Structure 1
Amino acid sequence: MVNAALCLRRPLLVTGRPGTGKSTLAYLIAEELKLGPVLRWPITSRTTLKDGLYRYDPIGRLRDENLRKARKQSATSDRDIGKHLRLGPLGTALLPFARPRVLLIDEIDKSDVDLPNDLLNVFEEGEFEIEELSRLSQDDEHVPVRTDDDGESVDIRRGRVRCRAFPFVVLTSNGERDFPTAFLRRCLRLDLEPPEPDQIDAIIAAHLGPEATAVARQHIEDFLAKRDQAELTTDQLLNAVYIAMSGNDVESMDNVVQALLKPLSGTG
């Protein structure tokens, strides 16, 4: 599904329980394909499409203009509006890079009901307009604007941002809500299952060393038994195994381990 999303230039909607590595998938793809730093857009219930595209600070611009007048300095160019604009993660991903960027839209199921549909047009067209720049005169058609990449600046022409190569978009969901049909049709979908026992061993060995799986075998078995009845995440197990390996007071450490392996929901 990852390869299909890359070939078709379609967003990849990754669904799975917490701790199954949904977000990590975006970073793995960016690293393996050498596509640069991942652009991460965390979603909340108040997030709007414009938050992801760009942010404009009109109060800051007005303050600077009043300060200029107070100092009796010469008038500034309209191009200075770029100092008060900053592209968001989505807006930065849509810049005309030679190679596509990886954009992680994290926990899309926390969004307002309108955001998935609002994303559709941007996904279809691969472009957007910065209204504050499109209204400027032709003399100021090139305006430098900061990006989401640590504030680096790029020139935006006539307020229009259009990608050269559609970014690789990973949207993560915990499966907590249903999405509109039109949104699902635009995305490719991947469901990540919780890791199998042999995968659990490999994860623990990769993080804590090969000896960790033998030392914490009972804790691993307890985790797998509880996970079938309630919601437990792999990082909870990693924390528990790390504590189990580092303590001298075995009885005290066992109490901490059991607390760390407490289910997030359900029974167990």
Structure 2
Amino acid sequence: MTWSPYYRGDGIERPIKPPKAPPWRTFPRESQHKQFQPPPGLVAAVNAAVLLRRPLLLRGPAGFGKSTVVEQVAHELALGRVLRWQVTSRSTLKEALYRYDALGRIHAQNLRLAGERSADDRDDIADFLQLGPLGTALLPSESGRPRALLIDEIDKSDMDLPSDLLDVLERGEFEIPELARHPVGEIDIRLWDSPETTIVHNGRISCHEFPFIVLTSNDERDFPEAFLRRCIRFTMPRPTVEMLERIIGAHLDGADTGSALVGEFVERIERGERLAIDQLLNAVYVLSETHVPDTAEIRDLLLRDLANG
């Protein structure tokens, strides 16, 4: 790999194939469970959450591997594919439990009344229902093993969402009102993460094994005490040189870790700069190539303080 033969900015077409992507930027995306290196104390926190059937709340800066924890746990405990709920300021508890396309159903009914659909085309509410990631995680498991669920960036949510979660996290069950009022007692509806379906009885879903739930927070807000006491909490520690060298070795087997670069990265974090570990991985990957110049300009490009935009 060289730095300049790809884009040169001269407007001349060159049929050059881009270089091989870093291992963490290959697609389809693969789990990073083998590469993740848990910091001291995390293993105990995970095992406490598993034993107590409590959610694990991971706090710390962005880019420190919080969301990868659930992938490693799911792999080691054979919990299957990880369910994911990416939280935003508009996220609601209802969308995490189930989705109901009421407008789509009304439209289908209007088409039927207008004769644009066959007379024997039934009005099936199941066609317009789908369980959300949390609702799917709470299904009784045929294997007897819990599902794994990532609730990512819970601190980005509306102020009321953590409190809204309390009853579901405590009781492990919920009701779908549209099905509870439906005359048919058993409805077959779709899961979140697959085309498979499950039968819901009288509109209620209740887990047999509480799912392994990881909630991540970038520490951008505080949470109610009632929410915190229902979680096992762990704060990702600031990385050390030794920890970072293990992480780099796991992702880039045989690559020169660049001890000076790692040491500089740790010093900048200690000074209060906001940097992510994946930034360091990017820098090591680029600068480990013999033809890429290790200059201040390139380091500033790859290791720019996140607080500076």
| Residue matched to 2:181 | 135
* Secondary structure, counterpart of 1:55 in structure 2: strand
1:39 corresponds to: 83
> Quick one: which amino acid aligns to residue 283 of structure 2?
A
Q: Answer 1 or 2: which has greater helix percent.
A: 1
Give yes or no for the alignment of 1:154 onto 2:180: no
Q: Deviations over 1:175-197 (max 9, x none)?
A: 11111111111111111113221
| Aligned residue in 1 for 2:300 | 258
Measure the CA separation in 2 of the matches of 1:129 and 1:57: 17
1:124 to 156, 170, 187: 170
List 4+ stretches of structure 1 deviating above 6 A.
none
Instruction: Report which stretch shifted further, 57-66 or 20-29.
Output: 57-66
CA distance in 2, matches of 1:227, 1:193: 11
Is 1:95 aligned to 2:139, yes or no? yes
Secondary structure in 2 matching 1:265: helix
Provide TM-score, normalisation by structure 2.
0.80
Structure 2 counterpart SS, 1:122:
helix
* C-alpha distance 2-76 of structure 1, shift in aligned 2 (>3 A): same
**Paired residues of 1:20 and 1:193 also in contact (CA < 8 A):** no
Give the Cα–Cα distance (whole angstroms) in 2 for the partners of residues 23 and 12 of structure 1.
Answer: 11
The unaligned stretches of length 5 or more in structure 1 are none
Q: Distance in 1 between matches of 2:196 and 2:210?
A: 20
The residue that corresponds to 1:21 in the other structure is: 65
SS at match of 2:288: helix
Match of 1:234 among 256, 274, 277: 277
Gaps of 5+ in 2: 1-44
- Retained in 1: the 8 A contact 2:98–2:130? yes
Q: Confirm or deny: 8 A CA contact 1:45 1:111 kept in the other structure.
A: yes
What is the Cα-based RMSD across aligned positions, in Å?
A: 1.6
Question: TM-score, structure 1 length as denominator?
Answer: 0.92
Distance 1:71 1:210 in 2: 64
Letter in 2 for 1:131: P
Distance of 1:205 and 1:13 partners within structure 2: 27
Deviation at residue 75 of structure 1 after TM alignment: 5.2
- 1:244·1:254 contact (CA, 8 Å) conserved in 2? no
Structure 2: distance between partners of 1:46 and 1:249: 43
